[in-house]
Amino acid sequence: MIVKFMRCKTLATLMLLVLVPQLTLAATPKVEAEKPARLPVLTDIALQKGGILVGRLTDDKGKLRGEQKIIVRQENQLVAEVTTGKNGQFMIEGLQGGIYEIASDRGAGSFRAWATDTAPPSAKQFAVLIEGDEVVRGQLSWMPTPGSFPSPNFTVGEWIGITLGAAGLVVGTIALVDAS
């Protein structure tokens, strides 16, 4: 009886010696700094003299969209409302430098307008607004995507608890087998 009990103690000790040192070899989890909220992509546009913004409305295949209503907002305030010509072009007058949202019924874009002679060399001479049929809404509940499930980052205490629980199951099983 004492030999069987010693054998159980020895097996339990060996299991703990095998499992617990793995915790010291495990890599410490990296704590990544929070990424700043993603800002909308802005396209730099050079305004023409008189604060005129010229633009063009196309669909996702590049076809010009004529006779469509265009709304221009700055800080959620309506600035202008125009209709595109038959060739999809539109013109908005009286704008100042700043950030604007230009939207149609099926698309929107954010643009940074630069006053005359202040635009960087990379600024475009006209805005291109591309409409699309696909609308993505953010009101739906969370949907899993590949890589969205976090890997288990247990604390050392949790790992010790798991190890002791596994060792207890092994020792209990051996004790039950030896008792029968």
Domains of the chain, CATH where assigned: 42-130 (2.60.40.1120)
What one-letter code names the amino acid at 119?
A: A
Handedness of CA 6, 7, 8, 10 (dihedral sign): positive
Q: Residue 122: phi, psi to the nearest 5?
A: -80, -5
Q: What would the pLDDT profile of 63-112 be if each residue is shown by its tens digit?
A: 888 999 999 999 989 999 999 999 999 999 999 999 999 999 888 888 99
Q: What would the pLDDT profile of 5-64 be if each residue is shown by its tens digit?
A: 777 777 777 776 666 655 555 555 566 666 655 556 788 999 999 899 999 999 888 888
User: Does 179 have pLDDT greater than 60?
Assistant: yes
pLDDT (0 to 100) of residue 152: 62
Q: What is residue 164's three-state secondary structure? A: helix
Task: Identify the burial level of 48 via C-beta atoms within 10 angstroms of its C-beta, where 0-12 means exposed, 13-18 middle and 19 or more buried.
Answer: middle
pLDDT (0 to 100) of residue 45: 93
What the block records as the tokens of 79 is 């600035």
pLDDT (0 to 100) of residue 140: 47
